[in-house]
Amino acid sequence: MVSKGPLLRLLTAINRRRMKLLMGLAFVAYVASVWGNFVNMRSLQENGDQKVESRIEEVVAPLREKIKDLEKSFTQKYPPVKFLSEKDRKRILITGGAGFVGSHLTDKLMMDGHEVTVVDNFFTGRKRNVEHWIGHENFELINHDVVEPLYIEASPASPPNYMYNPIKTLKTNTIGTLNMLGLAKRVGARLLLASTSEVYGDPEVHPQNEDYWGHVNPIGPRACYDEGKRVAETMCYAYMKQEGVEVRVARIFNTFGPRMHMNDGRVVSNFILQALQGEPLTVYGPGTQTRAFQYVSDLVNGLVALMNSNVSSPVNLGNPEEHTILEFAQLIKKLVGSGSEIQFLSEAQDDPQKRKPDIRKAKLLLGWEPVVCTDELLLLCGKTPGGRGS
C-alpha cells in the first residue's frame, strides 16, 4: 500500500500554491478594477472640468468685451500739455493743490509742461478738483497732513473752515510753513507762500499797499488765520536771511471761480447758493458796502509771474475795481434766473472782506494786473478768461 502521508503533504502543498495563485489573481483583479474606476473618474472629472470651463468662458467672454469697451471709453484724456525739455521742466510741489486756488495753479503748471506733485489732506480740498490729472506721468497726488512731522499742506482760507478748527489752522500756517521751508532748504528749492490780504486785518488805510503793517486783532475770531499768516511770512523771511532760502510771498485778495466750496461763507458763493435754492439773497445793511473780486485765472497768472520773478518782498494780487454788494446780488440773481428776493438785514456783521489792494507793485515789477473785467467776472462775456472786454 502506498503511504497516505506523503500524498497528503503533496496535496496540501498544491493547495497552498493554488490559494496563493488565486489570491494573487484576486489582488490583480482588484487593482485592475480600482484602476479602471480611477480612470473613469478622471475621465468624468476632465469632461466635467471642460464643461465648467466652457460654461465660465461663455459667461466671461461678453464681460471681457464689455471691460474692453469700458477701458476704451474711460481712457484718460488729459488737457493739452506742453512738452518741455528736461532742462526746462521743473519739479513743483503744491501744498493744498486739491483746493480752490491750488487746483487751478496745478492746471496751469501741468499744461505748461512741468512735473507737479500735489500734497493735500482734503480737509477743504477735493480730489475731484485734480482727478483729471490722475495717471498722468507728470502728476502725483499725495495725501499728507501738516500736523505730522515733514508733512505739509495748505491752510484753509474760507472763514467757516478755519474758524471751525482754529488750532488746526494755526498749526497749518506755522508748522506746515516751517516744514515746507525745511524742505526747500534741503533741496535748494524756491518757496512761494500763498499769503493773504487778511494780514492787513481791519485796515485803516485804503487801498492797502505792501508797506502797510495792518490793523489786526490778535485775539479776535479770525486771529487764527490772520496772525497765522503773519507768522508764516515772518518765518519765510527768517529762513531767507539766515539760511538763504529763496522765498516769494503773495498776498491774495478776494478771488472766486470754478471749484469753490459752495458753503465757504463768501459773498459770491452765498448769493449763488441762495439763488439756486430759491432762498432770499441776504444783504447786510443797505448793500452799499463794496467788494473787489478777481477771477481765479488772473490770480494763477499772478502767482506764476511772481514765482518766476526776482521779487522776494510781499506782493499784492487782487482786483482794485470795486462793486457794491447789492450789484453783485442783482447780477447773480439775473444770471441764475432766480425768482429769489433780495432781503436786507439790519443786523451788524463782521465785514472782514472790505480790503482793497494797491497793485502798483505787481504792475511795475511783474507786469501783472487782472485782465478779466469785473463786469465779466460772473458772466465772463461768454469767453475764456484772459482778455479784457471792449
Catalytic residues: 225
Which burial class, exposed, middle or buried, applies to 183 when counting CB atoms under 10 A from its CB (0-12, 13-18, 19+)? middle
Reference 208, options 350, 303, 302, 318; nearest CA is 318
Say how far residue 269 (Cα) sits from the centre of its chain: 20
DSSP single-letter state for residue 256 = E
Q: Phi and psi at residue 292, in whole multiples of 5°?
A: -125, 115
- Locus of grid cell 495725501: 143
The shares of helix, strand and coil residues in the chain, as percent rounded to the nearest 5, are 50, 15, 40
Reference 370, options 355, 354, 385; nearest CA is 385
Alpha-carbon span 339 to 332, nearest angstrom: 11
Reference 239, options 309, 314, 185; nearest CA is 185
Contact yes or no for 281/274 (Cβ under 8 A): yes
Alpha-carbon span 282 to 7, nearest angstrom: 129
Reference 270, options 286, 289, 284; nearest CA is 284
- Locus of grid cell 518782498: 313
Provide the 10 A C-beta neighbour count for residue 325.
22
Q: Please, which residues bridge with residue 201 across strands? A: 215
Grid cell locating 372: 478779466
Residue length of the chain? 390
b/e for 128-165, b at 16 or more Cβ within 10 A?
Answer: ebbebbeeeebbebeebbbeeeebbbbbbbbbebbbee
DSSP single-letter state for residue 215 = B
Provide the 10 A C-beta neighbour count for residue 327.
16
